[in-house]
Amino acid sequence: MPLRIKKYDQFELTVFKAFGAVTSEQITDALKCFYEETDAKPTKYALWDMRGASLEALDHWEAMWITQVVEYIGHGRDNGKTAIVAADDYDFDISRVIATCVPINLVIARAYRTIDEAAEWFRMDAERVKDLTNF
C-alpha cells in the first residue's frame, strides 16, 4: 500500500506515510479518511511523510485539485497545522504548491525537507516525531 495512516491521539497528531509512486487519488482518499471516515474529530496536527515516495505523477493541476478537496471537506481542525515533508526537489516543489494553496481559513500547511523542521514548527520533540513516523 503506497499510503498508510496512523493516528496518535495523545499527541494530537496523524501521520500519513507514503511509499513509491503516489497519485492524487490516493492522497484525496487519505484526506477523506482523515476528515470523514473517522469516528472522532481529526487531529490538530497532520504530518505527511513523503520521504519514501515519489510525487512525479502529480502535476500543478492535480496539486490544485488536492487543495480543492481540502477546501470541500477540510473542516473541524481549529488552528490545525499540516506539514508535508519531502526531500526530493520535485516532490518538495509540488508539496509547496499544495501547502501554499490550501485555504488558510481551514488549516495552515507548510512544506519541509526534514522531519526535524516539521517537528519544530509543531513545537514537538523531533526525536519523538521521528519515532512516530516509523511504522
Domain count, the chain: 1
Quick one: what percent of the chain has pLDDT higher than 70?
Answer: 97
Residue 2: its pLDDT value, please? Answer: 87
Residue 48 has what DSSP assignment? E
**Residue 117: which domain range?**
3-132
Residue 42 · residue 70 · CB < 8 Å: no
Instruction: Return the exposure string of 82-115: e unless at least 16 CB atoms fall within 10 Å of the residue's CB, then b.
Output: bbbbbebeebbebbbbbbebbeeebbebbbbbeb
Residue 19: its pLDDT value, please? Answer: 94
The mean pLDDT value for 114-133 works out to 97
Amino acid occupying residue 124: M
Kindly report, residue by residue over 49-106, the tens digit of the pLDDT: 999 999 999 999 999 999 999 888 887 787 899 999 999 999 999 999 999 998 877 7
**Weakest-pLDDT range from 6-10, 76-80, 106-110:** 76-80
Residue 33 · residue 66 · CB < 8 Å: no
Task: Report d(CA 111, CA 94) in Å as an integer.
Answer: 9
| Average predicted confidence (pLDDT) for the chain | 92
Residue 120 · residue 81 · CB < 8 Å: no
The mean pLDDT value for 101-117 works out to 91
Task: Report d(CA 121, CA 71) in Å as an integer.
Answer: 22
The CATH number assigned to the domain holding 49 equals 3.30.750.24
